[in-house]
Amino acid sequence: MSQIAVIMSVYKNDRLEYLKEALSSLYAQTRQADIFIQQDGEVSLEIEAFLDNALAEDKIVYLGKREKNIGLAGSLNDLLVVVLSKYQYIMRMDADDISIFNRVEEQFRFMEKYPKIDVVGSYIEEFSREMVYVKLVKYPLTHIEMFDFFNKRVPLAHVSAFFRNSFFQKAGLYPTDSSTNEDTLLWMNGFKSNCQFANIAVSLVDVRVGKAFFGRRGGYKKALSDLKDRIKVIRRLGYNFDAYVYAVGVLIVNISPGFIKKFLYKRLR
């Protein structure tokens, strides 16, 4: 059994071709990890058959199935309950992204070298096969830099997260009181619980972006939810007034037309 568990949630909007690419990138890693997947509600018959076959062939070690969709946070929590007592490290992976061939090795070595770190992420590279778009997204590297960065934006890409199991012992499982910002609130609880954060200065995950990516970042309901969660972070972690001003600015951007969000996102992120 590996020291490392990969946790992945699959739901009805996932596409089989993307899921195959995601899993193939895990099978091809220079250091292997055990793969745990939760089907969050109904999925297509093709995906269900594909995952059943992967389980039968021992390509994944666990496949949980739930009839009702309860969201990403609840699905990941179900997986954490299964793996936390058995694995030292837990790696996040989305069902439509691609892990670089040495991602597991790089993050494992980092954690072995720095035993006080509870979670490490990396840069990510966003890409699209539906439009001309490639962007390297960088994040701060040290714990202090990441805490300072968090007064405006998340300091670690959730899709790149590689946890020591101590993170969840300190901070608890994923908060389920937000429908879209479970990672933001998890990082908040992590900082509040004295978890130690880091990022590696190289892109280890290719993150898939579709045409709807920029448009779906807005909408009044989600924008207000994001603002509510951001204010919770500011208050809990004691950030200053500038953080509130920035949060309101993000709200304005999020309710702006898609072409404006796309312009600002590509240049300011």
The answer to whether 209 and 126 have CB atoms below 8 angstroms apart is yes
Alpha carbons 15 and 114: distance in angstroms, whole number = 37
Q: Which residue has the tokens 């309860």?
A: 70
- What number of H helices and E strands is found in the chain? 10, 9
Angstrom CA distances, 36 to 24, 74, 77, 104, stand at 14, 14, 12, 15
Q: Which two tokens stand for residue 249?
A: 């600015």
Cα–Cα nearest to 104, from 29, 35, 2: 29
**Predicted TM-score (pTM) of this structure:** 0.91
Q: What is the pLDDT of residue 225?
A: 82
- Range with lowest mean pLDDT among 26-35, 220-229, 237-246, 251-260: 251-260
Distance of CA 29 to the CA centre of its chain: 19
Give the pLDDT confidence of 89-101 residue by residue, as tens digits.
Answer: 999 999 999 999 9
Q: Which domains occur in the chain, in start order? A: 4-213 (3.90.550.10), 214-269 (no CATH)
C-beta pairs of 234-240 under 8 Å, 24+ apart in sequence = 234/151, 236/188, 236/192, 237/147, 237/150, 237/151, 237/188, 237/191, 237/192, 239/150, 239/151, 240/151
